[in-house]
Structure formats: C-alpha cells, structure tokens
Amino acid sequence: MKRINYLLSAAIIGGIAACSPGEKVAEEADLPPGPVAEKVPTELTLHGDTRVDEYYWMRLTDEQKKAEQPDEQTQKVKDYLEAENEYTSTLMSHTEELQAKLYDEIVGRIKQTDESVPYKNKGYWYYTRYEEGKEYPIYCRKRESMDNEEEILLNVNEMAVGHSYYQVSGRSISPDNKWLSFGVDTLSRRVYTIYFKNLETGEILDETIPNTSGFAPWANDNKTIYYATKNEVSLLPEKIWRYERGAGADAEMVYEEKDNTFYIGAYKTKSDKFIIIYSVSTLVSDYWILDANDPKGQFQQFSPREQKHEYSIDHFGDKFYVTTNWDAQNFRLMETPDTKTSKENWTEVIPHRSDVLLEGIELFGNHLVVDERKGGLTYLRIMNQESGDEHYVDFGEEAYLAYVSTNPEFNTNVLRYGYASMTTPNSTFDYNMDTREKTLLKQQEVVGGHNPEDYITRRIYAEARDGVQVPMSLVYKKDTPLDGTSPLLLYGYGSYGATIDPYFSSTRLSLLDRGFVFAIAHIRGGQMLGRQWYEDGKMFKKKNTFLDFIDCGQFLVDNSYTSSDRLFAMGGSAGGLLMGAIVNIKPELFEGVVAGVPFVDVVTTMADESIPLTSGEFDEWGNPQDLESYEYMLSYSPYDNVSEQDYPHMLVTTGFFDSQVQYWEPAKWVARLREKKTDNNKLMLYTNMEFGHSGASGRFERYKETALEYAFMLDLAGITN
C-alpha cells in the first residue's frame, strides 16, 4: 500500500492538505503536527437546519473499497488513512519495545495447544481445538466416545491460506450427521458464502450460496436448508430462502421482510421439530414456524405481530414456551400448545417480577432452567417440572459472570454452564440438577500461572447526579494502593440493553500487574439492573448513559481510587459513542481515552438508511426524520459537538471494511478534533486497512492492536516496562 510521510505540510496529491489561512491545528509541544485532512464543505439539510460537514468526502462505497484499481477519491481516502497510521506509528515509536513485550506477554498466557470441552449431540462428541502457532480453530468430532478416532470437520488454518481475513460461521450438521453447511466471510463485512461438506467423503462441494447471513438450518429430510440473504447496499438480511442441496433447482423465497427496521433469520428448535423464521426489531418480535418433517410446507405465523411486544420461543414435547414482555416489563414465561400458538392461547408459567429480569430459559426432559438477573447478578434457577421443587445454583462470589452453556440434549439431568469472575478464569461446569453436585470440566489455563488470591474484585456504587446508584465492578492487585496514585482504566458500553458482566481477562493482567485498577461502569443503557435500566439509557434518555459514566469517573477520583491525571477511559462501537460524548462533556476528567470503532457521527448515519444498522435502530437512538429526535441526537452526537477546547490524549481505532460502524465516522471525527482542539495532547487514528468491526480473524493477530492500546495508556501513566 502507498504510504505518505505524515510530516509533509504542503498540499499532497491524494488528499492531505496544508492549513489554509485561518484554520487552526494544534501544534503539539514536542510532537510533530498530525495530518490535516482536506476540507470540502458539504451541506446537510434536514428540518430546515443545515449542518456543514467538511469531511463528508471521506465516504466510499463498498465497490470503491474492494476495487483492485482505486479511483481518485478512493486513493485520496486511503492516502489520508495511511498518513494517520504513519503518524500514529511515529508518535508511538518509542513504545515499540513495550508493545512487543506486551504482545508476547498476552499471547504467552494463552495455551497454544488447547481444546474445548466436548458436548454430545446425536451420537457424536463435538469440540474445537487449536494447535501451537496456528491462528485458526480446528472443528472436530468423535463418534459415541472420546476414545474413538477423530474426524476433522473443518481445519480453518488450511482454509484460510492466502487470505488476510477468514471467518467461518454458522456450522450446521444435518440430522443424519452426514452433511455440514457453513458460512465463510473473507472480507470482514459479515457477508457469508454458504458451503456444503460431505462428511462421509470429506468433499467440500462446488455448490455455494453467496451473500448470506451464514447460518443454514436443515430440515429433517437431510437435504433442505433455509437461509437469509442480505441487501447488497444496506447489508440487512431481508429474504429467507428454501434450498434443496444437490437438486439443481433454484432456491425458493419463503419469506420477505419489507420493513427495514427488522432483522431476520432462520433456526431449528432444540426439539428438532420446527424450523423457525424470526423477524425482530428493537421493540417487536415476530416468528413463523414450519414442521421440520414437512420442508416444502408453508410457514405459519406464531402470533400476530404487535407493536412493543418482544418475545422469544422454545419448544419441547407438544408445547412452546414463550418468554414475553406482554404486560411484563421484566418479562414472564408462558406456555402454549404447539398446535395453537397465537397469544390468546398462552398460559402463565412464571409471573412477572418487578425486581427480577427473566433473561432466558433452557429446557430439559424433566427440568426447566431459568436465567434470571437480580440486583445486577445472574442467577440460574433450577425447576424440577415433575416434583415442583426448585433451587438456585450457588456461585459464592460478590461479582461474577454465569451463563447457560451448550446443552443440545433433552434427556439428561445435567446442566452445563459457564462461570467466571474478574479474578476467576473462565470455567465450564456440569451440574447435576437432582443431586446439586458440580463437576469442574475445565478452567481456562493462564500459561505462566495465575493466582486469584493475588487480586481483589469488588462491587461499588457511584451516585449519579439524579440520585440513581450506578454499580461498578473493580479488580486490582492486592498490593495496588487506593490512595489516588494508581492509574485506573474505566470501561463502559451502555447501549442495546447489553450488560457487560464482570468477566475474566488474562489479557487484562498486563495492566493489573503493572499497578492499574480496572473498572466496569454498569451504566444505564445496559440491563444490569433490569429492563428499566435499559429504557432509562436509550432514545430521549440517552444522555443518562454519558452522565452516568462521567459520574462514575468522578466518584473514583473523589474517593481516591485514582486521580484525574491517572484516569483512562475505554469503549468500543456504541461504547465508542460513549467515549466521544464524555470527551465533549467533561474532557478534563480523563488523562487518556481509547475509542474503538466509535459510532460518533450519529445524526448523519441515522439519517442514511443505506448504511447497515441504521433503519433497524430507530427505536434505539431515534429517527432523525422526526424533528424531536433530530434535535435530541444532534445535541449529543460527538462529531457535531466537537468544540474549541482541550481534549485528553486520544487513540482512536477503526477498520477499513467495518460494516457496523463505517471507518469514515472515526476518520472524520479525528480530522475535526485535530482542527478544533486547543491542547497539546496526542490525537492518533489507527485504521486496520484489511479488517472490519471485530478486528483480525486470527487467534493471536488481534492482540497487536491490544498491545498498542495498552502501551498508549501505560506510556501516559509513566510505566515504561
């Protein structure tokens, strides 16, 4: 790729331009000036209000990005991004040794030759293993016993040769165990081509299906699959197709979603009795069901689509179980005969509780496992459906992450679940639901050793400015002083009802062992404290998310967990929006900020329905076509609210092929920040020119970016080794 020296200050062919008179660029003391993006004012008018976007020209189409021979505009954008990369590399060059050390440390803690805990399904034990020095997984199975000969389903290391990015998704085995369907993405745009493998001969067929979501469940005839295709512009899945492998016939469309605020897909119930088409938006769920023994039949709607009705369905025996918010903000559990599924036939199994969020269920022949959240913690409730007895699994820690793992079989009294805390590595247990006996099957090995007793994890609460108590999860090494002198990294997300539980990270040890405190702010917009916690951090209450995070940071400073010149913040994607908002609102609170793939150009993106994720998220952020929504979103959109003020040191990362948050959002944001900011702090943009939203696909490659982020913070904290 063409690279341009970041130090050039004259106009450069390819899009880096010198300042014109009157333009302001921060001349950072002892730092070279950063690249200055060309300004091409573009007027964006909505509701009679005109915004001027000087960097709108940075936007490219997918065709432009993928073209082997870039046109003039594409080259101009690439040259700018490469210049920013070069600038970042130069500013961070004195940390190269530290970055290398961090990378080696992080990768060195990962057990290179490793294997997942096998699970049994239809007579086979399935597992994933990794080989030393290899980037990708090897998917395997053994028949009946783990002592039998291994069958390699897919060796992704071999498949990925010649590709800088390679992601396998949606592996699905036919009921007779003879066929495998799977999706492959080689561009990091989450657009998959479906392949078929004959598991008896080992042959991967030439028969492929492009432009899909990747997953294709099988009907019970072992030939028919169902899959979703995507709109080639917005990348939204919009049609479901029925296809008979090997028949040579064209696929038949069986469902089309014409409302572009919905996401669609297909799956098969655990009972193997039904193929389900789902169509869901932020506030509405809709399901269509088909007997899996009748693959050419017609899908029937489960229950009429209703506004603000969210639910999910599970099947066992002759019943569907329905987790629904119908008259139940925190959801309740219902059941209905599988021959009469519309809402008027539902009867209640577990009622609504104002203090307990029902997050999901797992069905067994004689047991029902209910995944609940209360007081910010997850509880697994075991209900014996024959005797009526029930109890909760005992976890015994103050802050932890627990979840139902892979349980494909009904006829067992053993629940497999996962567990971790900020000090306890990821662990897999089998739990006898009758005797209550736990069996630890595997705990993540931290190569080089890890003693949980050397670290302390705590749950604390900060009072937000409106009086609400916001929980935080902390972890730090025992000998780390809490007297205001220790650096602290505060992490946040706060959108989509996604809860960031207190998870274990061997990567994080590189910060903790160097004296950092790590904290997660469980801010509104997630569901840590129930559904209302989410409702209070979205739409016209979105600013609660940002203010909660700031108030958490201020609490940590005021109570001597750290100081403002030692406080760092990090968030990615919608958490990157969070980072953009907090640095506009209270930049002086933070020493440094890492914003990963940040969603920062809120109004422009949400006004453009051709961009992936836009139309499906109007109920999360608002639709700018509505004046009230437009004005509210505009009041916090990070890109639109950059001002002439001091900002903290900042490292911003993105991916050129990102389909979730397009690269031009962080690129434009950095360009505007560099134009307006009045400080002498570092502002760096790193664009991975080969990958997308989730970064590198390889097992180890992704940690190079982590090492860069850690080195950025450690360097600012004065920690050099």
Residue 23 has pLDDT above 90, yes or no: no
Q: What are the residues whose beta carbons fall under 8 Å from the beta carbon of 114, sequence distance 6 or more?
A: 129, 130, 445
Confidence of residue 695 (pLDDT cuts 50, 70, 90): low
Catalytic residue among 371, 501, 551, 658: 658
In a domain, 187, yes or no: yes
Q: Give the pLDDT mean for 52-57.
A: 97
pLDDT at 143: 97
Residue 35 has pLDDT above 70, yes or no: yes
Number of domains in the chain: 2
Mark which of 279, 299, 319 sits at the end of a domain: 299
Q: Give the pLDDT mean for 542-552.
A: 98
Phi, psi of 666 (to 5 degrees): -65, -35
Catalytic residue among 573, 629, 659, 697: 573
Residue 27 has pLDDT above 50, yes or no: no
pLDDT at 694: 54
In a domain, 530, yes or no: yes
Q: pLDDT for 657-675, tens place per residue? A: 877 789 999 999 999 999 9
Contact 226, 248 (CB under 8 A): no
Residue 613 has pLDDT above 90, yes or no: no
Instruction: Residue 270: give its domain's CATH number.
Output: 2.130.10.120
Q: Give the pLDDT mean for 131-148.
A: 94
Of residues 474 and 616, more confidence is placed in 474
Q: Give the pLDDT mean for 309-316.
A: 97
In a domain, 6, yes or no: no
9 among known catalytic residues: no
Q: pLDDT for 562-601, tens place per residue? A: 999 999 999 999 999 999 999 999 999 999 999 999 999 9
Q: pLDDT for 241-262, tens place per residue? A: 999 998 878 899 999 999 988 9
Q: pLDDT for 65-82, tens place per residue? A: 888 899 999 999 999 999
In a domain, 639, yes or no: no
- Which is it for strands 683-688 and 649-655: parallel, antiparallel or unpaired? parallel
Candidate from 44-58, 233-247, 370-384, 442-456 with smallest mean pLDDT: 233-247
Q: Give the pLDDT mean for 501-514.
A: 97
Of residues 609 and 150, more confidence is placed in 150
In a domain, 257, yes or no: yes
Of residues 458 and 9, more confidence is placed in 458
Instruction: Tell me the CA distances in angstroms from 275 to 266, 290, 293, one per residue in order.
Output: 7, 5, 9
In a domain, 384, yes or no: no
pLDDT at 692: 58
- What is d(CA 641, CA 662) in angstroms, rounded to the nearest whole number? 19
Residue 7 has pLDDT above 90, yes or no: no
Residue 449: both structure tokens together:
């050793």
- What is d(CA 715, CA 721) in angstroms, rounded to the nearest whole number? 9
What share of residues in the chain are helix, strand, coil (percent, to 5)? Answer: 20, 30, 45
Residue 390: both structure tokens together:
């029930």
Sheet holding 427-432, edge to edge: 401-404, 414-420, 427-432, 438-443
Contact 140, 148 (CB under 8 A): no
pLDDT at 697: 58
Residue showing tokens 């567990």: 419
Contact 78, 683 (CB under 8 A): no
Q: Produce one character per residue of 358-369: b if its CB has 16 or more CB atoms within 10 Å, e if not.
A: bbebbbbeebbb
Share of residues in the chain with pLDDT > 90 (%): 85
pLDDT at 249: 80
Catalytic residue among 640, 693, 694, 697: 693
Residue 30 has pLDDT above 80, yes or no: no
Q: Give the pLDDT mean for 119-135.
A: 94
pLDDT at 562: 98
Q: Give the pLDDT mean for 336-346.
A: 97
User: Which residues share a beta bridge with 414?
Assistant: 432
DSSP string, 99-164: HHHHHHHHHHTB-SSEEPPPEEETTEEEEEEE-TT--S-EEEEEESSTTS--EEEEEHHHHTTT-S
In a domain, 414, yes or no: no
pLDDT at 486: 98
Q: pLDDT for 398-446, tens place per residue? A: 779 999 999 999 999 999 999 999 999 999 999 999 999 999 999 999 9
In a domain, 466, yes or no: yes
**Distance, C-alpha 426 to centroid of its chain:** 18
pLDDT at 21: 26
Q: Give the pLDDT mean for 513-524.
A: 98
104 among known catalytic residues: no
Instruction: Residue 471: give its domain's CATH number.
Output: 3.40.50.1820
693 among known catalytic residues: yes
Write out 222-267 in H/E/C secondary structure: CCEEEEEEECCCCCCEEEEEEEECCCCCCCEEEEECCCCCCEEEEE
State which residues form the domain around 175.
163-299
**Helix, strand or coil, per DSSP, at residue 108:** helix
Confidence of residue 607 (pLDDT cuts 50, 70, 90): very high
Contact 303, 341 (CB under 8 A): yes
Mark which of 299, 323, 344 sits at the end of a domain: 299
Mark which of 528, 563, 598 sits at the end of a domain: 563
Helix (H) or strand (E) holding 654: strand 649-655
Share of residues in the chain with pLDDT > 70 (%): 95
Residue 22 has pLDDT above 90, yes or no: no
- Which is it for strands 138-143 and 124-130: parallel, antiparallel or unpaired? antiparallel
Residue 16 has pLDDT above 60, yes or no: no
Confidence of residue 150 (pLDDT cuts 50, 70, 90): very high
User: Which residues share a beta bridge with 377?
Assistant: 374
Query: For the chain, what is the radius of gyration of the CA atoms?
Result: 26
